[in-house]
Every structure is written in structure tokens, then in C-alpha cells.
Structure 1
Amino acid sequence: MAVSKRKAYGGKVESFVKKCERSLAAAGWAHGLPAAAVAFLSLIWAPLSKGAFRHLRAGCPLDGAEELRFACYFTYFRWNRRPIVFEILSHRVGVELTEAEYALFLERSRALEAQGFRVVRITDVELAYARKHVYERAAYAMSRSGWGDEGWGTAI
């Protein structure tokens, strides 16, 4: 069943990936989408949203945010929901970052949360080995993104 669903959403995922890469390139983000981001879109987002990409945007929603080599962002905007940022991270974040890169990562995380975004952090390792857990976290974030839910700017 999962294979047929993946095939059903494949064309939509492919189309959205191309759209994301064009918009990121236009914004000066040279590296495009990493494999983990494409995995998130095809294995988590497409089944969760039933193939709807209309309210999902690629790139960090902060004004003037520069590209980070170890992170990719997708923001889910709905008029009646608190925006959610899915932060797709390389597992190298904890071990290979310079002090300056880590400080920038922390600054960006604080800024997103301070502006009221719900941040869902997902690593490439989780996408590879704990997909069900990632799906459940994303579904939980979507179900709890109403304006009356607990806490602004929370991370999941």
C-alpha cells in the first residue's frame, strides 16, 4: 500500500522539488535541496498532506536569512493556523559545525521561535531510520498549530 501511495504522489513531489529549486536559486541559495529534504517531501509531507503542496514553501521564512550548508527549511502557512517550520538537518550539526556556524544555527532557531513559528526539527538519520516517528511528530505539529494551542514559538 505504501508503495502505491508513494507512486501516486511521485509526480507532485517531483514538480514541487523543481519549483523549490527554482525559487531557492532565485533567492541565491546555491545548494538546492539535499536528499534529506526530498525524502521529507516524498516520505512524510506527501502522505501527510495527501499530496497537497499548496501551503508549503521552501526556504527560511526569516528576512535576509542566509543559506546554511547543514539545514533546509520548509514553512507551512495557512491563514487560520500558526505557521510551522520544518527544519531538515544534517546529522553533522552536532559534530562538524564550527563555533560560528553553531552560533548562527542557535540564533536562527531562537529568531524563528520568537516570531511565533512552531519549529519541527528533523535529521536525515531520523528520516532514514525512524520515519514513523518523524511522521507522527509532523502530524502532531499540524494538529496542534491552531492559534489557541499551548505556547507560541515552540519546538517539537
Structure 2
Amino acid sequence: MQRGLKQGFPEIPVLQQQPDQGEVERTEFLAEFSTGKRSLGFAIMGGIFGEGIDYIGEKLVGTIIVGTGLPQVSLERELQRSAAEASGVHGFDSAYHYPGMTRVLQTAGRVIRSESDKGVIILIDSRFTAPFYRHLFPEHWQPLVCHNTPQLCGSLERFWGSS
């Protein structure tokens, strides 16, 4: 995907978070997102760039979230699931769905930091259209389901054209 973006939009720097980035590399990565500069960055949802950093103004005008953020299966999660089910609560929701959606909402929340911010959040996963997830969206979200690239491009053009 990154190669296709570089070929299709060679004028836009494409950055990718690396697993063992040190402080210098993190600072350089973030410096690419300065006002007036167009950059595209790939980072891990819930990773080091997800919290504690304010992307003020137009430093971050959109995010694409791939997947529902479900945590990995682990002994701890399975114990949470079992405990929830024993108390009559849907265990998978408690141990996996809700923590995953919390991660998605935190990632999306990096885009809009003030009342004057405007941005786009693209959720790529058909599960987001299910009622379970839809009812967890913030009230101010205006979701639009796009089924193909031309429809998405048209929607983005209309959104940014209304600025």
C-alpha cells in the first residue's frame, strides 16, 4: 500500500512508524506533521503516537483506522471474559469489544482537539456498520458508508470543499 501511495502521490512524504524508534526518530517523525506541510504517516493504533501528543490546528486533519482495535487473546483477557460471563454480562464484549472500541475512539480523538478543528476519520472494517459499534460512536459523528474508492473520494471532496 505504501509503495502505491508513493507512486501515485510522489510529492507527499509517506512515513511509517518503526518498531524500535528512539527519541530522535520519534521527534523526526512528528516534525513531518507541521502546519502547511502535507504528509502521510502510518502508525500503530494505541502506540507511542496515540497519546500525549497534541496535533494542534492542521497538523493532523485525518486518520484512517484499519480494524476494530480488538486486543490479542491472552490469559488475562480470557479470565476477564470468564468473570464477566459468570456475572451475567457478555464476556467477549467486556474483554475484547469495549477495549478495542476505546482504542479506536482514542485514535480518532487525536484528529479533533478543539472546537475549531475539522477533520476526517475513516474506519476501514465492515464491522463498524454493525449496530453494536454504531451505537458506541460519539453523537457528533456523521457516519457515511462508502462502498468503493470513487464514492469515498467524492465524499472527501465534498467534505473538504465545504470548509
| Smaller-chain TM-score bracket | 0.3 to 0.5
More helix per residue: 1
Q: Scaled by the length of structure 2, what TM-score is found?
A: 0.38
Q: Scaled by the length of structure 1, what TM-score is found?
A: 0.39
Q: Rg bigger for which structure?
A: 2
